[in-house]
Chains A and B, each alone.
Chain A
Amino acid sequence: MKPFFATVFGGLALGFLLVFYVDPRHLFHRERLPEKPPLHGEGMPISIFFKYGPRPLKLAHITYIEPPDLVLLGSSRTMLANSHMVSPSLKFFNFSVDGAKYTDYVGFWEALNEAGKRPRYLVLVPDGYAINGRYPGGVWLNTLKYFDRFIDKDAGPVRRGWDHLMEVWYALNESITWEMFRDSTKAALHVEPIWDMRGITKEDAAQNAVPQYLGDGGITEFPVKTKSEQLAQARFYGNLGAGLYSTIMYPWTPNPKAIQAMDRILKDAHQKGTRVMIIIPPFHPQTFKTISTLGALSGPFAEYRSIFKNLAAENPGTAFCDVMDPARLNCTEDDFVDALHMVPRCVETMIRSCFTDQGWSDLLPTQPHKT
């Protein structure tokens, strides 16, 4: 048994050391991020799936942007929002990241606070899983550090004990992956210059159908799919019913710590004079129809909505806009790439509709952007 165990544990230890040392995605050594990430208006777009995850890049970018007027915190569903969707007089930045959990929302908010770049307007577009205590998957260490600092400022700690052990677990879980090992090895062998922040060119990105960063934290459209694929995928989610829940919501147990943390953002924003709007984003029409028919709207989905509605009601100056039903936005099947991800046109409609309803229409451009 010795050769087997020596190989497995020795190999894993070496692999982890390599990943830890090179740290290609800045999980452990954020301070190594280069001086100026090329996210903002340099004509060198970078793929979100190439070399850097959106968290370290967007965090690093906070140092270089001018203090924004309007900030959007959301998940992959709002990563397509960009500055053309709001008034040109506003400085807009989109901090949406894929798989956003409550630690990300708090983390970005705290990072903006620390940099003295608190916005005048904050738009939160949370997914149900952001506050679901049983949603599988870890939290991201990049934003977790800021989350810790934000929470530790006040009495009544949100995270203690086991959570810290879980951090180590998440780090290990995230490190022991093929992608991390591949990137670390390439960097160590100088096969690919990992510190080169120029990113890929527009042509490369277009050829490989990868989304690219725009200068304001938004990204270009998700990889184009054929219409039949889009519909097939939407039907796939829509027809599965119980499977749909497990993808989006189930097993559903609201996490009190997460709700408390979101509440703290709202209170902090109010104290510091930032106006906030919470938006519940839409689902694909077929998906919405399925969950409505199956009575799920009175279950976890209703709870998700009411939690954020209550948070908005309890915090003065917080607007609430629920557009889970895509019919409210006139978004059709063609406005979605799957059960929950919109195309830019629908994202823009969502922003326009909610801003108009909640009296924020002065933040909108006079004419809709042609997306």
Chain B
Amino acid sequence: MSFNSFPFIFFFLPLTLFIATYLRGQWLLGWLTLASYWFYGALGYSWVVIPLFVVTLLDFCIAPCIQDAPSLKRKRAFLFISLGVNLGILLYFKYAFSILLLGQSFFSRSGRALPDSWVTWLNVMMPAGMSFYIFQSIAYTVDIYRGKAKAENNFWTYAAFLSFFPHLLAGPITRQNQLVPDLEKIAANGIHPRWKEGIFLFAVGLCKKILVADRLGDGILHLIRLIPGNGFFACWFLAMGYGVQIYFDFSGYSDMAIGLGRLFDVELPQNFDSPYKAVSPADFWRRWHITLSFWLRDYLFYPLYFAMSRDANNNLKLIVSLMVTMFLGGLWHGASFMLGIWGCYHGLLLILYAVFKKSWDRWNTIVQRIVTFLAISASWIFFRAESMRQAIDWLKGCLGMRGFDFSFFSTANVKYLSILILGVIMVNAFPNASGYKGFVKFPASLQVGLGILVIVAFLYMNNSFQFVYFQF
């Protein structure tokens, strides 16, 4: 069951919300947790709720120990236990299968069979959304260790905080102080759905996902297979197109998640702030997947930076911390060499920006935006390419090394090109949906227009792809 499915929209959501509006206190939080586990298990594999429950139980139990530990040494010990288990689970599920494939290749080269035990233990699939809830749980325990948060003493509050279905699969990664107060509020006062903000934002997210991201995805899926023969225009279309597809896919998901939160009277943090309006690489990361960027900053970049010797050169500290953070941020997306390169590429962009900041800031804003957009678009090549060879072929095409190939502008591709242009216009001309305040007094004409788009989105629902970020 996914947000872009009929069972979710016409069955799960109305039923969950209807029952929730009649409940208070522990019952309400318990119901939200139960419904979230149901939602999660209904993705196809019911066992995925087990790691979620283990993480929930572990961090709920260990948080008071961290908080009340009599010495710093003990605090650290408890924190390391929590981090060890959380990261252990994450690394196991995320990378075991890749290790298996590596092992398979290694053993087959030496003419031996892979041991059965390897296959048994490493042939696992990562549950969707695991990275997100584990990062959320890590933030919680680390904040308690740092004295920035208090250990939750109500199990259902913590379970609902970690599993709340709108953010469970692909964020936003929510901190304790962003969600728990709202959960406590609805537990005390009941749910007062913010209908208009919730439904309209959900509808906008659905349209972004199905009408733009998925339709563009059709064309990209077709063209990407032909990369070795694609010319300049096709390669740039693919790079920019994938950038727009992934943006509409993920921001559409985030809009839906935030809209669902508002239906349950809970405000989830904003995850996108029109990132393609960014005027620099640093600005991009303040606008793209905001909750992950801030997570990486607070729990990886700063600790790395401050862990280095005080005597070290500040620029060197910055460069090392940035590169390591972005490299690990890339690998967070998956065990792939290409994703590591993608992370390093962004690290390099950030370093170059820091070095040339003064000259860059003198440029015209429009030029800054265009250059940033092109630099970010080029980065998607490493993100999307399935191999280094494909990435190099793709880059060669972008550099015009295979000619321009005007046949790309054929009738079949005009449709996808139009969607790309429409997407770029929407990105630049419209306000960011999750921050838009006008839904409360949304004019009737716009409601009718949105309603028509929703109908078209429903018609295409059966041809909708899975959300890209579920795999991370």
Contacts and interface: CB of A to CB of B under 8 A. Distances in A.
Contacts of A15: 455, 459
B458 interface: yes
B97 interface: yes
B452 A242 contact: no
A295 B123 contact: yes
A178 interface: yes
B199 to A, nearest CB: 7
Interface stretch (A4-12, A40-48, A314-322, A330-338): A4-12
Contacts of B458: 12, 176
A134 B451 contact: no
Contacts of B199: 1, 4
A3 B447 contact: yes
Contacts of B451: 3-8, 11
Interface stretch (B57-65, B112-120, B131-139, B282-290): B112-120
A178 B447 contact: no
Given A1-B447, A3-B447, A295-B116, A242 B459 contact: no
Binding site secondary structure of chain B: helix
Nearest to A12: B455
Contact of A181 (B100, B203, B459): B459
Q: Which residue of A3, A178, A228 has the most chain B CB atoms within 10 A of its CB atom?
A: A3
A232 interface: yes
B225 interface: yes
A327 interface: no
B97 A232 contact: no
Nearest to B443: A3
A114 interface: no
Contacts of B333: none
Contacts of A12: 455, 458
Contact of A4 (B97, B447, B459): B447
Interface string B414-455: 000000000000000000000000000010110110111011
A153 to B, nearest CB: 33
Given A4-B199, A229-B225, A293-B114, A241 B455 contact: no
Nearest to A229: B225
Contact of B462 (A177, A228, A242): A177
Interface residues of A, number: 32
B195 A242 contact: no
A241 B123 contact: yes
Contact of A11 (B116, B225, B452): B452
A327 B63 CA distance: 56
Given A4-B447, A134-B44, A242-B125, A177 B200 contact: no
A241 B45 CA distance: 16
Interface in A167-208: 172-173, 176-178, 181
Contacts of B448: 3-4, 7
B306 interface: no
Nearest to B118: A295
Contact of A295 (B120, B442, B459): B120
A178 B463 contact: yes
Contacts of A6: 451
Q: Which residue of A8, A172, A181 has the most chain B CB atoms within 10 A of its CB atom?
A: A8
A7 B200 contact: no
B407 to A, nearest CB: 16
A112 B458 CA distance: 37
Given A232-B225, A295-B123, A1 B195 contact: yes
Interface string B177-214: 00000000000000000011001100100000000000
Interface in B85-137: 97, 100-101, 104, 114, 116, 119-120, 123-125
Contacts of B203: 4
B219 to A, nearest CB: 16
A246 interface: yes
B44 A293 contact: no
B459 A178 contact: yes
A209 interface: no
A4 B200 contact: yes
A32 B100 CA distance: 55
Nearest to A290: B104
A310 B188 CA distance: 58
Contacts of A233: 225
B53 interface: no
A64 B114 CA distance: 56
A166 to B, nearest CB: 11
A293 B119 contact: yes
A242 B225 contact: no
Q: Which residue of B6, B123, B460 has the most chain A CB atoms within 10 A of its CB atom?
A: B123
A293 B104 contact: yes
Contact of A7 (B114, B125, B447, B459): B447
Q: Which residue of B444, B447, B460 has the most chain A CB atoms within 10 A of its CB atom?
A: B447
A250 B456 CA distance: 30
Interface string B152-172: 000000000000000000000
Contacts of A5: 451
A17 interface: no
A77 B416 CA distance: 31
Interface in A1-30: 1, 3-8, 11-12, 15
Q: Which residue of B200, B444, B455 has the most chain A CB atoms within 10 A of its CB atom?
A: B455
A232 B461 CA distance: 27
A242 B455 CA distance: 34
A239 interface: yes
A289 to B, nearest CB: 9
A56 interface: no
A11 B123 contact: no
Contacts of A296: 123
Contacts of A7: 447-448, 451-452, 454-455
A294 B444 contact: no
B459 A177 contact: yes
Contacts of A242: 97, 123-125
Contacts of B124: 242
Contacts of A228: 228
Contacts of B455: 7-8, 11-12, 15
Interface string A133-173: 01010000000000000000000000000000000000011
B459 A173 contact: no
A246 B119 contact: no
A184 to B, nearest CB: 11
Nearest to B463: A178
B39 to A, nearest CB: 16
Contact of A173 (B228, B442, B447, B462): B462
Contacts of B200: 4
B447 A294 contact: no
A251 interface: yes
30 contacts: A3-B447, A3-B451, A4-B199, A4-B200, A4-B447, A7-B447, A7-B448, A8-B451, A15-B459, A173-B462, A176-B6, A177-B459, A177-B461, A177-B462, A177-B463, A178-B456, A178-B459, A178-B460, A228-B228, A232-B225, A233-B225, A239-B101, A241-B100, A241-B101, A251-B45, A293-B119, A294-B100, A294-B119, A294-B123, A295-B116
Counting from the closest, the 6 A-B pairs by CB-CB distance are: A7-B451, A242-B125, A4-B447, A295-B119, A3-B447, A178-B459
Interface of B: 6, 44-45, 97, 100-101, 104, 114, 116, 119-120, 123-125, 195-196, 199-200, 203, 225, 228, 442, 444-445, 447-448, 450-452, 454-456, 458-463
